[in-house]
Amino acid sequence: MRTSSLIAWTVWKALFLREAVARLSARRAAWVWILAEPIVHLVLLNVLFGFVLQRVVSGIDGGLFITTGVLGFFLARNTAMRPKDAINANAALYTYRQVLPVDTVLVRAAIEAVLFMVSALFLFTGLGLLGYQVFPHDFFQVMLAFAILWLAGIGLGLMLSVASKLVPEVGNVAGMVFAPLYLVSGVMYPPSAIPPAYQSWILLNPFVHGIETVRTGFFPQYHTIPGVSVGYLLGFAMFTVCLGLALHVRFATRLVAQ
Partner 1 sequence: MIIVDEVYKRYRNDHGFGKWVLQGVSFTIPPKVNVGLVGRNGAGKSTLLGLIGGVDTPTRGRVERRCRVSWPMGFGGGLQGALTGRQNAKFVCRIHGHEEDLPDRLRYIEDFAELGEAFDAPIKTYSSGMKSRLQFALSLAFDFDVYISDEITSTGDAAFKNKAAAAFKALADRAGLIMVSHGESTLKEFCTAGIWLHEGQAYWFDSINDALIEYKKCLNR
Q: Is residue 13 involved in binding partner 1 (CB under 8 A)?
A: yes
With 0-12 CB in 10 A as exposed, 13-18 as middle and 19+ as buried, what is 132?
middle
Cα 164 to Cα 109, 153, 171, 238: the distances in Å are 17, 16, 5, 21
Please identify which residue in 22, 29, 30, 193 interacts with partner 1, judged by CB under 8 A.
Answer: 22
Please identify which residue in 17, 29, 43, 118 interacts with partner 1, judged by CB under 8 A.
Answer: 17
Please identify which residue in 5, 28, 97, 177 interacts with partner 1, judged by CB under 8 A.
Answer: 97
- Longest alpha-carbon distance in the chain: 65
d(CA 155, CA 109): 10
Q: Is residue 29 involved in binding partner 1 (CB under 8 A)?
A: no
Residue 30, CB half-sphere, CA atoms under 13 Å: how many?
9
Q: Is residue 118 involved in binding partner 1 (CB under 8 A)?
A: no
Select from 208, 200, 147 the least CA-distant residue to 182.
208
Q: Is residue 86 involved in binding partner 1 (CB under 8 A)?
A: no
| Choice between 13 and 41, CB closer to partner 1 | 13
| Choice between 56 and 89, CB closer to partner 1 | 89
| Choice between 50 and 171, CB closer to partner 1 | 171
Please identify which residue in 74, 94, 232, 236 interacts with partner 1, judged by CB under 8 A.
Answer: 94
With 0-12 CB in 10 A as exposed, 13-18 as middle and 19+ as buried, what is 53?
buried
Neighbours of 122 (CB within 10 A): 14
| Choice between 93 and 134, CB closer to partner 1 | 93
Q: Is residue 95 involved in binding partner 1 (CB under 8 A)?
A: yes
| Choice between 25 and 125, CB closer to partner 1 | 25
Interaction site with partner 1 (CB under 8 A) = 2, 6-7, 10-11, 13-15, 17-18, 21-22, 26, 90, 92-99, 252-254, 256-257
